[in-house]
Structure 1
Amino acid sequence: MPTEAKAQKIEELAEKLNRASIAILMQTQGLSVKDMNDLRKKLRDVNVELSVAKNTLLRIAAERNNMTEVDKNIFNGQTTVAFGYDDEVAAAKAVVDFVSGSKIAVLKSGILSGRSLSAEQIEGIGKLKGGKNQTKAEVVGTIQGPLSNFYGLISAPLRDLAYVFQARADQLQKGEAAQ
């Protein structure tokens, strides 16, 4: 039976996991207070909240949010969680930038849409150009380009036929006007 303080922490973590679009788990054991404050400031700039959590409490919070596809093995060792609320790409980019520049912090894993992500997947998200909206725009552009070309190809014969009819109608009108 958890104590009142642990139950309250579980509720807090469950609420944060529910609100967060991405949760990135890392190990920050050994970071100085100055480095930890720098990390918090850098993450706060992109609307990411940093929290140190016990693995058991974090696992229970994930279970309460029905995150059944989350691998339970990611909850081991000392864990610091970065909760990204707006842009998954910006959150991953900020965390990956910090971890790559730090000799102490280690990227462990993450949770995105109720699924576990490996450290390599988090790094991949962090390497995407721009943010979430730019990535969406690139996907739409990739799909829209060929569709636009296909529409032009399909509509060209009908458009050309309409031009022929219009040219013939203009020709007949000029012939009547001359008589």
Structure 2
Amino acid sequence: MTREEKSQVIKDLTAQLTDTSTVYIADIAGLDAGATSNLRRACYKANVKLSVVKNTLLAKAMEATEKDFGDLPSILKGNTSILISETGNAPAKVIKEFRKKSEKPILKGAFIDEAIFVGDEYLEALSNIKSKEEVIGDIIGLLQSPAKNVVSALKSGGGKLAGILKTLSEKEG
């Protein structure tokens, strides 16, 4: 690879790292061509971009961004792939699902919204992180709950003022 090619790869990686808030670093060494193809397909379906990268180029790209990747450059040894996604838990779910059939990929580390995770032991926790949409859905559900209680109380009282007051007083107690 020429210097110009390396420089271009670093620019591209820097742009990708700058534009996303979710980056997973994994080791997929040892997967045969068929398994690698299946992993790429699973990533594509989950809207996760998978790229195999050179450690030195990724380290330089991390350095070139304004983000603090903490200890992540220190784990760039051996075979390295990056998984980039808009959703914080999507790459973890893909890795976890894929590992039901294979020992790889192994999670080396992750950068999610400024938080840094180093080590495969975080895979389970990362796959359980709720996405922004899931959190918004939970909040909307919580906000709708009191309104539903009032409506059901009004309906169950039969429309009579005494029944409504009695039902509401029971709900508060």
TM-score w.r.t. structure 2 length? 0.71
Identity %: 26
Alignment-derived partner of residue 93 in structure 1: 93
Contact 1:26-1:81 at 8 Å conserved across structures: yes
The Cα RMSD (Å) is 2.7
Q: Which residue of 1 aligns with 2:25?
A: 25
Separation in structure 2 between the aligned mates of residue 65 and residue 78 of structure 1, nearest angstrom: 22
> Is the CA contact 2:69–2:111 (under 8 Å) kept in the aligned structure 1?
no
Asked whether the equivalents of residues 22 and 83 of structure 1 are also in contact (C-alpha less than 8 Å), the reply is yes
Q: Which residue of 1 aligns with 2:79?
A: 78
SS at match of 1:76: coil
Provide Cα deviations, 1:102-150, integer angstroms capped at 9, x if missing partner.
1243111111224421333343121347x44113433x3697599x69x
Give 1:167's aligned residue.
none
Higher helix share: 1
Match of 2:105 in 1: 105
How many residues are treated as equivalent by the alignment? 146
TM-score, structure 1 as length reference: 0.69
Structure index of larger Rg = 1
Distance in 1 of aligned mates of 2:114 and 2:133: 21
Equivalent AA in structure 1 for residue 48 of structure 2: V
- Structure 2: stretches of 5+ with no match in the other structure: 151-160, 162-173
Partner of residue 126, structure 1 = 127
CA 1:90 to 1:132, structure 2 compared with 1: closer, same or farther past 3 Å? farther
Alpha carbons 2:6, 2:57 under 8 Å: kept: yes
Q: Aligned partners of 1:123 and 1:18: how far apart in 2?
A: 26
Once the two structures are superposed, what CA deviation does each residue of 1:21-53 show, in whole Å capped at 9, x if it has no partner?
Answer: 311111111101111111111111121111011
